[in-house]
Amino acid sequence: MLKFVVRRLMMLVVTLFVASFAIYSAMYLAPGNPIAALLGGRTPTPEAIAVLEERYHLNDPFIVRYLRWVGGALRGDFGVSIQLRQEVSTLISQRIGTTVQLVLYASLIIVVVGVALGIVGGLRKGVLDNVVIVATTVSAAVPSFVASIILLSVFAVNLGWFPALGTGEGFVDQLRHLTLPAVALAFSSIALVARITRSAVREELSREHVQTAVSRGIPYRTVVRRHVMRNAAIPITTVVGITVASLFAASAVVERAFSLNGIGAYLIQAALSKDIAVVQGISLVIVAIFVVVNAIVDFLYAVLDPRVSLGASAA
């Protein structure tokens, strides 16, 4: 088990380093002159240029600049936004709360609704199962931005039950503001989780060991809980984990649609205005979250499935 954890952690660190290098060097290719952006249209004096080049280390070789950037990133320093002249880390930390809340809210919806639908479809054959299949087929095909628009149109504009845009103040108000975005973000992932849950439940139900439990007189509900659900939890955890990991990137779309002030929407804004340091910083944060959550999923998998840890430590 320990060996497995160590190996997985090493993989994680290597992936992050390579990814950070890819992000930094890709941005390095970006056209445009940072000095011009800094000066914002004023005519530069040679001295001013020299000062700026000095301040932003624009004359150092690429590799030195990369290492400085990664070193900073490790300490939580992502440089300075050329547009806003503020620390990127400050700009991120002002906004990441909204994104985290949104993602957690959406994850909760995905887990509760998706797993519940999947269990119903898996255990009940016939009408209920068909309803689940049709519902998930449709919801799987609804992109988050289309879901956003529909929810906005129905629940915010026509019915007026929820506010249309913005983040809100205070917990309850924030919850109200985040409800529609969270549903929009969750919508198609619910289908994925429900599908996987359903087929996992089906598969486990048909397993021989379930037959054994029944043959020994264990009540059906107990068999379902202790054997079917316990074993189906392994694929369900995996798909939920991967889905949640991807929500941090996907939330950009929803944040945009609902004018939420999260890191996703800010990343888009920065990309449109070519605010390189911000794009680099947020991209790295999102990739890091993605990789870390995936690693956590792997650990959970090993915890849930005793066969995995042995395989890894024996190797």
CB-nearer residue toward other proteins: 55 or 225: 225
- Quickly count: other Cβ atoms within 10 Å of residue 142's Cβ: 16
Q: Are 120 and 128 in contact (CB under 8 A)?
A: yes
In the list 45, 93, 130, 206, the residue contacting other proteins (rule: CB under 8 A) is 206
Residue 314: HSE in the Cβ half-sphere, 13 Å Cα cutoff = 6
- The reply on whether position 29 binds other proteins by CB under 8 A is yes
- The reply on whether position 64 binds other proteins by CB under 8 A is no
Residue with tokens 């991120």, as numbered in its chain: 92
CB-nearer residue toward other proteins: 51 or 310: 310
- The reply on whether position 142 binds other proteins by CB under 8 A is yes
Minimum gap (Å) between residue 211 Cβ and other proteins: 6
Residues with Cβ < 8 Å from 215, sequence gap 6 or more?
Answer: none
CB-nearer residue toward other proteins: 111 or 192: 192
- The reply on whether position 274 binds other proteins by CB under 8 A is yes
Question: How far is 167 from 170, CA to CA, in rounded Å?
Answer: 10
Q: Are 157 and 192 in contact (CB under 8 A)?
A: no
Q: What part of residues 207-266 is at the interface with other proteins (CB under 8 A)?
A: 207-209, 211-219, 222, 226-227, 230-231, 234, 246, 248-250, 252-253, 256-257
Contacts with other proteins: how many residues (CB under 8 A)? 75
Q: Are 151 and 184 in contact (CB under 8 A)?
A: yes
In the list 291, 296, 300, 312, the residue contacting other proteins (rule: CB under 8 A) is 291
Question: How far is 48 from 221, CA to CA, in rounded Å?
Answer: 76
Nearest to 281 by CA among 79, 30, 14: 79
Q: What part of residues 181-200 is at the interface with other proteins (CB under 8 A)?
A: 188
- The reply on whether position 86 binds other proteins by CB under 8 A is no
- The reply on whether position 152 binds other proteins by CB under 8 A is yes
- The reply on whether position 52 binds other proteins by CB under 8 A is no
- The reply on whether position 82 binds other proteins by CB under 8 A is no
306-314 helix and 2-28 helix, angle to the nearest 10 degrees:
80
- The reply on whether position 135 binds other proteins by CB under 8 A is no
